[in-house]
């Protein structure tokens, strides 16, 4: 557990992050997310899976953090869904790509603080009612490329818990930890 989690316990069942967010991981994330370097997803998922292997094995239902349909249309793919499919290929569990829906477009969260991100995401993500039965009572592995402030994952975890998920663990390639940043 990290210091912020000890101070304010999260609603999720833990975070499996392949690496800390730094210059090297940032380049990989941006190449996947905005550079259409989808081939990187295999290696990134392998590193995530290695972190999951530290935990006791579980029957996970993998659900990626959703993009709004307009952002998906512009980008052409959801990088979290690509990572989720790679985790499925590695045997982590089945994928429910459309388990969550971002039904309201949000501005890019880059540059927003924690409160701004939380405000922007308020009510934007919900369970896909057509997939609700598949989620109810399951252990869910929520997949994203980067965990920054936790606002997106918190919105997803809340929606999944309202939808009856037994527990939700977050799996990401890179995690931002302020206490791990070098001193200036």
Instruction: Give dist(CA 54, CA 16) in Å, integer.
Output: 9
Angle between helices 23-33 and 40-52 (to 10 degrees): 120
Q: Is residue 125 part of a domain?
A: yes
- Binned at pLDDT 50, 70 and 90, residue 184 comes out as very low
Q: What is the mean pLDDT of residues 93-120?
A: 82
Domain range for 70: 7-177
**Tokens 């499925």, residue located:** 88
| CATH number of the domain where residue 143 is located | 3.40.50.2020
- Binned at pLDDT 50, 70 and 90, residue 128 comes out as very high
DSSP label at residue 113? -
The reported pTM is 0.88
Q: Is residue 144 part of a domain?
A: yes
Q: Is residue 50 part of a domain?
A: yes
Q: Is residue 182 part of a domain?
A: no
Beta strands at 100-102 and 125-127: parallel, antiparallel or unpaired? antiparallel
DSSP label at residue 57? P
Q: What is the mean pLDDT of residues 130-147?
A: 95
Q: Number of structural domains, the chain? A: 1
């Amino acid at each position: 557990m990290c210091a912020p989690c000890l101070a304010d316990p999260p609603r999720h069942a833990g975070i499996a992050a392949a690496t800390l967010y730094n210059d090297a991981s940032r380049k990989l994330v941006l190449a996947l997310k905005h550079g259409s370097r989808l081939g990187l997803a295999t290696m990134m998922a392998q590193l995530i899976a290695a972190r999951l292997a530290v935990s006791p094995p579980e029957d996970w239902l993998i659900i990626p953090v959703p993009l709004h349909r307009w952002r998906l249309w512009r980008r052409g793919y959801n990088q979290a869904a690509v990572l989720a499919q790679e985790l499925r290929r590695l045997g982590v569990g089945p994928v429910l790509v459309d388990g969550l829906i971002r039904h309201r477009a949000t501005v890019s969260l880059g540059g927003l603080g924690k409160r701004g991100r939380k405000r922007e995401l308020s009510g934007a993500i919900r369970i896909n009612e057509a997939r609700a039965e598949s989620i109810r009572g399951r252990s869910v592995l929520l997949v994203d490329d980067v965990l920054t402030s936790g606002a997106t994952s918190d919105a997803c975890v809340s929606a999944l818990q309202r939808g009856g998920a037994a527990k939700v663990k977050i799996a990401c390639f890179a995690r931002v930890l302020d206490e791990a940043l070098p001193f200036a």
